[in-house]
Structure 1
Amino acid sequence: MMVNRRRMVAFAVALFASATLTLGAASASTTTADHGAAGHQRLRVMTLNIFYGGDDLDLKTGDFCAEANGCPQTLVQIERAITQARADIVGVQEPERDVERIASALGWYGSDRAHVMSRFPIIDPPGGDGLYVYVEVAPGRVVAVANTHLPSDPYGPYLVRDGGTAKQVLDLERETRLPAVQDLVKVLPTLARKGIPVMLTGDFNSPSHLDWTPAVAAERADVPYPVKWPASSALADAGLRDTYREAHPDPVAVPGFTWTPGSPEADPHEVFDRIDWVLTAGPTRTIDSSVVGEKGGPDVGVGVSPWPTDHRGVVSTMDVVPAVPQVLVSPATRRVTIGKDLPVTYHAPGRQGERVELRDAKGRVAASRATKPGRTDGSVSLPTRGLRRGAYDVALVSGGRTVSEAQVWLYPAGEPTTVSVGKSRYKQGEPITVDWSNAPGMGLDWVSVYACPGGECADTSEYLVYTYTDSRIEGQAKIGPKAIGADSSWPLAPGKYVVRLLPDDGLVSVAQSAVFTVTKQ
């Protein structure tokens, strides 16, 4: 949850970060030394909101750091929490570009775009579209992992606290948080029906319908009536099971609160609830689930002192039957520096003569490498020396046809990220066209309008109206009356402005447009 900063939009995990992974050879029977019967794998999956990137909380004072991102020692405590939870896979909320940093410190795989880290390789399947990734938990066998952070404000339990009716609460949730789970509801059950184990982690900023029951309402003063919270209900109706409630089915006896063990932003009349979940679907069985938080905290099963964030985490142990993935090709990065080789992982049909190709925008083959004969899984490296800047497709060719492809962009070394607007002058109320290129491509990159009073565009000025890039490396968007923040900032007042591109929900710009003017009608 975040209250005093920008509201999070729905984000579900995305893509591949490691250039070193390879899919192992698929096997009908996969075991590890301590993981039960053939074909089964025991996994510990964790969700954790790390509070503004994990380095903005001063552990000594319990307040914000004196400087933004100024408490790297708190990141060490985040790492310690993950280690003590004995997690295998972690979905991270509020990461602010620090997923790979934490993963590297742990010796793990991580993706700032995915907001997922794992001790196992992470694979970006074409068609995942940033909504889920595969984690290769055994050679040639995967599970699907999605991560989300639903909008935090306005917060439903605060409306209840302040006297809101059940109808008002449901109306708020259907407008604010229910839309943010619709893509998850559409896509994840399909994967589960195909026999792929699915895990969804997140800070849902909503209680669960499993917790606000008539029995709980009879016991808790802050639950005056039962509520079938729409976000959790929609996910449950889609077949996603709440692992914590599977392990602890009585919400009266074991509330399992995750919000909040305290924060510099805590409301003086705080209400406590369970809003951080690990959900699952498909061939999985919940063995156990624990709250991870401050030592001595309510229902905390894994205690860490001092606790380094404003949410407690949850870690769930599951028995899963990992699946063989569909045919796929997965480049190690979507931003490629010309001259460097591009590692590509594949899962192929296994026919003779298969290859991985790099094709330019006109479909011409710029580089090609054969797959390993007789192997369905492996990796190749595609050379890029001497190629031109631009968009390319990585294609897996089998039987003379393309069976999977993914897009990448090639840039010369040192080329900066750029953002631009369509015109130098806009009429008041006219949508602003924004283009960008060579963006970081992280999960929550965003482009925002900033005012330049007197023509001075200060770095400390406040963002106004903005939109997310959907983690695209290159793209275009319009900022207008439907953009985020438009309720208070649109139409823009006459004056001078710039647009900035900022990575991963952070506040540090990596590119700025030329100054443009908004005039009266």
Structure 2
Amino acid sequence: MAQSSISVRVLSFNVCLGGRSVDISKVAEAISASGADVVGLQEAGANVELIARLVGWAHFDDRHQVISRWPIAEPSDAAGAYVYVLPEPTAVIAIGNVHLPSDPYGPYELLDGLGVEQTLDLERSTRLATLRQRTDAWTSLVGRGVPLVVTGDFNVPAHTDWGPGWAEHRAQPMAWPVSEAMTALGFVDTYRMANPKLPGLTWTYGYPYPHGGEAEPRDRIDFVWALGHDTITDAALVGPAGVPDVVVEVDPWPSDHLAVVTTMTMKPVEPMPYVAPHASRVEVGELLRVRFATPGTPGDRIGLVPTAAPIDDVLMWVAPMEVDRFGEVTFGTAHLAPGEYDVVLATAASEIGRRRIWLVGRGRQPSVAAGFDASSLVVSWQATYGRRFDWVGVYAAGDPDLENGALAAAETGATIDGSHSFEGLGDGPFTVRLIGDSSIA
């Protein structure tokens, strides 16, 4: 089905440690002032839903930290790399949202005397390696003709922002690998496209502004990249009054990053068939809501099975009405035991896709446990909220320094239940903590 082009305004916004540094209502005020339709958040912690509600939107994805005025669905073939946003019931655009590792930070390393090649090697082994975990899924998506926008705090400048013609430390040419990789994939750096000459620096003028030392290297590390769009209409910075290049002013400003917003035109497209549970973690007794797009053939059905079981072992299934190729179904869960299940989309002849969900006990809180296995400290977590940037940290016993005290850490990878083995920590004793992105889970 052919679709018409629409105007979409997308904001990338690192809200700083859960968005509560000033007042979380100021985060919502900034989003509203930007005029955004879709927002990729970073460091939102457990506050993604709250921020969406404060803006007045019903649609959010806690796992990807994306909020929108339109419905959101993570399709079964997304491999955790993107979500669909549905400006129309039968058509989608895709949003990827990233927060690449912050340390070691390249400009700091250069100023401290590390050589150019050594700094670029650090970029390849940290941020570029993390980015590569998503690019295969993005490439596959774009190959199907779906417009894709990637927002994020990339924690690295763009290669286009360093070299002759730029000021201060940025006058040195640097082939920053992440932006070069995005460009090689065909993405357009929307701010630089719309503003070829403006520095557009987003980090950091210090917090609260104008706190910050004069020696602080300031760079543009927050981006909105686009691929498969029609045109870039404009791009601007959102931030406190008095900061260079800020167009949308909000005071007091609630973050140590400025936000970047871009307006573009693109054609939403009809997606390939998919199933998309609204949440990966559901409490027993809650409704399991599933958005879907089916092939529209006789025998299409959406079912719930034990994890990894074939569709023939279905516990419940729903056949969409004959007019409903796109829509939403719900399953009751009160009669099910806690555990792992798969939501499956199938036709009469074959399975098309599946997504895993975790059913947890009513009122069950996230927990973490640890024990030694030979020389390894095995840390396990249960019933977490499945946010992409949740992590577990190992601390010296009783160390209260949550931010800087971790001896070792590992991301949970958006899993509800899982474990990680830490090597080389010695015999302890240790304190193990589960951290929810920017707050204790």
TM-score (norm 2): 0.92
- Selected match of 1:235 from 182, 186, 191: 182
| Correspondence for 1:19 | none
* Percent of aligned pairs with the same amino acid: 38
AA of the residue aligned to 2:175: K
For structure 1, the 5+ residue unaligned runs are 1-26, 30-38, 58-73, 481-490, 511-521
| Correspondence for 1:200 | 150
| Correspondence for 2:108 | 158
Q: Secondary structure at the match of 1:131?
A: coil
Tell me the alpha carbon deviations over residues 121-142 of structure 1, each in whole angstroms, 9 at most, x when there is no partner. Answer: 1101112232111111222111
Closer/same/farther in 2, CA of residues 228 and 386 from structure 1, 3 Å limit = same
Tell me the alpha carbon deviations over residues 42-76 of structure 1, each in whole angstroms, 9 at most, x when there is no partner. Answer: 0000111111111134xxxxxxxxxxxxxxxx211
| Correspondence for 1:296 | 242
| Correspondence for 1:502 | 435
- Selected match of 2:379 from 434, 441, 456: 434
Verify the 8 A CA contact 2:77 2:353 in the aligned structure 1: no
Task: Tell whether 2:411 aligns with 1:468.
Answer: yes
| Correspondence for 2:70 | 120
Tell me the alpha carbon deviations over residues 237-268 of structure 1, each in whole angstroms, 9 at most, x when there is no partner. Answer: 11111001111123xxx111111232268455
Q: Secondary structure at the match of 2:161?
A: coil
Closer/same/farther in 2, CA of residues 206 and 458 from structure 1, 3 Å limit = closer
AA of the residue aligned to 1:223: R
Task: Tell whether 2:386 aligns with 1:445.
Answer: no
Q: Secondary structure at the match of 2:145?
A: coil
Cα displacement (A) at 1:145: 0.6
- Selected match of 2:266 from 314, 320, 344: 320
Cα distance in 2, alignment partners of residues 111 and 494 from structure 1: 39
Closer/same/farther in 2, CA of residues 350 and 100 from structure 1, 3 Å limit = same
Verify the 8 A CA contact 2:190 2:224 in the aligned structure 1: yes
| Correspondence for 2:327 | 378
AA of the residue aligned to 2:207: S
Aligned length: 433
Q: How does 1:86-97 map to 2 (within 5 A)?
A: 86-97=35-46
Cα distance in 2, alignment partners of residues 359 and 185 from structure 1: 30
AA of the residue aligned to 2:156: S
Task: Tell whether 2:299 aligns with 1:353.
Answer: yes
Tell me the alpha carbon deviations over residues 99-149 of structure 1, each in whole angstroms, 9 at most, x when there is no partner. Answer: 111001112112221111111111011122321111112221111111111
| Correspondence for 1:257 | 201
Cα displacement (A) at 1:270: 0.7
Q: Secondary structure at the match of 1:214?
A: coil
Task: Judge which range, 84-93 or 207-216, deviates more.
Answer: 207-216
AA of the residue aligned to 2:128: L
Cα distance in 2, alignment partners of residues 276 and 170 from structure 1: 19
Verify the 8 A CA contact 2:301 2:318 in the aligned structure 1: yes
Verify the 8 A CA contact 1:140 1:324 in the aligned structure 2: yes
Cα distance in 1, alignment partners of residues 341 and 427 from structure 2: 41
Verify the 8 A CA contact 2:79 2:137 in the aligned structure 1: no
AA of the residue aligned to 2:192: R
Verify the 8 A CA contact 2:31 2:55 in the aligned structure 1: no
Q: How does 1:481-500 map to 2 (within 5 A)?
A: 491-500=424-433
Task: Tell whether 2:98 aligns with 1:98.
Answer: no
Q: Secondary structure at the match of 2:160?
A: coil
- Selected match of 2:126 from 162, 168, 176: 176
Q: Secondary structure at the match of 2:165?
A: helix
Q: How does 1:380-395 map to 2 (within 5 A)?
A: 380-395=329-344
Q: Give the superposed CA RMSD.
A: 2.1
- Selected match of 1:404 from 343, 350, 353: 353
Verify the 8 A CA contact 2:300 2:347 in the aligned structure 1: yes
Closer/same/farther in 2, CA of residues 241 and 389 from structure 1, 3 Å limit = same
Task: Tell whether 2:104 aligns with 1:130.
Answer: no
Cα distance in 2, alignment partners of residues 259 and 340 from structure 1: 42
Cα displacement (A) at 1:191: 1.5
* Bigger Cα Rg: 1
Cα distance in 1, alignment partners of residues 245 and 11 from structure 2: 16
Cα distance in 2, alignment partners of residues 163 and 463 from structure 1: 27
TM-score (norm 1): 0.79
Q: Secondary structure at the match of 1:223?
A: helix
Task: Judge which range, 261-270 or 124-133, deviates more.
Answer: 261-270
Cα displacement (A) at 1:277: 0.8
For structure 2, the 5+ residue unaligned runs are none
Cα distance in 2, alignment partners of residues 435 and 169 from structure 1: 34
AA of the residue aligned to 2:129: P
- Selected match of 2:170 from 212, 223, 247: 223
Q: Secondary structure at the match of 2:50?
A: helix
AA of the residue aligned to 2:170: V
Cα displacement (A) at 1:173: 2.1
Cα distance in 1, alignment partners of residues 427 and 358 from structure 2: 37
Verify the 8 A CA contact 2:128 2:177 in the aligned structure 1: yes
Cα distance in 2, alignment partners of residues 267 and 182 from structure 1: 34
Tell me the alpha carbon deviations over residues 306-363 of structure 1, each in whole angstroms, 9 at most, x when there is no partner. Answer: 2221111110000011111110011122222223331211100111232211112454
AA of the residue aligned to 1:451: A
Closer/same/farther in 2, CA of residues 358 and 261 from structure 1, 3 Å limit = same
Closer/same/farther in 2, CA of residues 323 and 416 from structure 1, 3 Å limit = same
Q: Secondary structure at the match of 1:323?
A: coil
Cα displacement (A) at 1:292: 1.0
Cα distance in 1, alignment partners of residues 400 and 110 from structure 2: 39
Q: Secondary structure at the match of 2:256?
A: coil
Cα displacement (A) at 1:464: 2.2
- Selected match of 2:316 from 364, 367, 370: 367
Cα distance in 1, alignment partners of residues 122 and 428 from structure 2: 35
- Selected match of 2:368 from 408, 419, 422: 419
Verify the 8 A CA contact 1:43 1:319 in the aligned structure 2: yes
| Correspondence for 2:10 | 45
- Selected match of 2:2 from 28, 31, 35: 28
Cα displacement (A) at 1:89: 0.8
Cα displacement (A) at 1:80: 0.8
Tell me the alpha carbon deviations over residues 4-53 of structure 1, each in whole angstroms, 9 at most, x when there is no partner. Answer: xxxxxxxxxxxxxxxxxxxxxxx534xxxxxxxxx111000011111111
